[in-house]
């Protein structure tokens, strides 16, 4: 199990570095939460509910790992804020406090019918998307993931 978690962590770190080195495009104007969810859902081949649950689980973990000040900054950088994503994840069965690692996010997604391969790509895709949001969003998420 440790080898899997290590491999997934290395994969995500590689994606973060590649996204930073690729000269990724920054988004112009405000991105809505629904456009973020639609974009990630399409990229990963997931349903809207699966994507929202994954994002909510990421926000739950971020809330536990970041200082209150940093989490407030992150919430402001996430389209639509983090509260609605956490609430949606809770509505879909993700128990607050049950997400303490990236592996827990993968578990949440697989319980919702996402293949393990797609679930493993989720966090990296979110980080890549966050890189285009500007501000400190990617940096704050990178502290957690």
Tens-level pLDDT at each residue, the chain (145 residues): 555 554 444 444 444 343 444 333 333 347 899 999 999 999 999 999 999 999 999 999 999 999 999 999 999 999 999 999 999 999 999 998 899 999 999 999 999 999 999 999 999 999 999 999 888 999 999 999 8
**Domain limits of the chain?**
2-19+48-144
Residue 2's pLDDT is 54
Residue 8's pLDDT is 44
SS3 for the chain is: CHHHHHHHHHHHHHHHHHHHHCCCCCCCCCCCHHHHHHHHHHHHCCCHHHHHHHHHHHHHHHHHHCCHHHHHHHHHHCCCCCHHHHHHHHHCCCCCCCCCCHHHHHHHHHHCCCCHHHHHHHHHHHHHHHHCCCCCHHHHHHHHC
Whole-number Å distance between alpha carbons of 34 and 45: 16
pTM for this model (two decimals): 0.78
Residue 28's pLDDT is 35
Residue 61's pLDDT is 97
Residue 13's pLDDT is 40
């Amino acid at each position: 199990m440790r080898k899997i978690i290590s491999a997934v962590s290395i994969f995500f770190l590689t994606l973060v570095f590649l996204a930073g080195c690729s000269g990724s495009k920054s988004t112009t104007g405000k991105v809505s939460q629904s456009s973020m969810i639609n974009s990630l859902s399409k990229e990963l081949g997931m349903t809207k509910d699966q994507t929202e649950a994954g994002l909510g689980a990421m926000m739950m973990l971020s809330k536990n790992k970041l200082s209150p000040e940093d989490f407030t900054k992150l919430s402001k950088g996430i389209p639509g804020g983090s509260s609605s994503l956490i609430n949606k994840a809770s509505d879909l069965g993700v128990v607050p406090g049950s997400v303490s690692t990236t592996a827990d996010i993968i578990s949440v997604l697989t319980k919702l019918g996402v293949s393990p391969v797609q679930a493993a790509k989720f966090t990296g895709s979110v980080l890549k998307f966050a890189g285009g949001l500007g501000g400190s969003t990617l940096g704050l998420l990178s502290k957690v993931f």
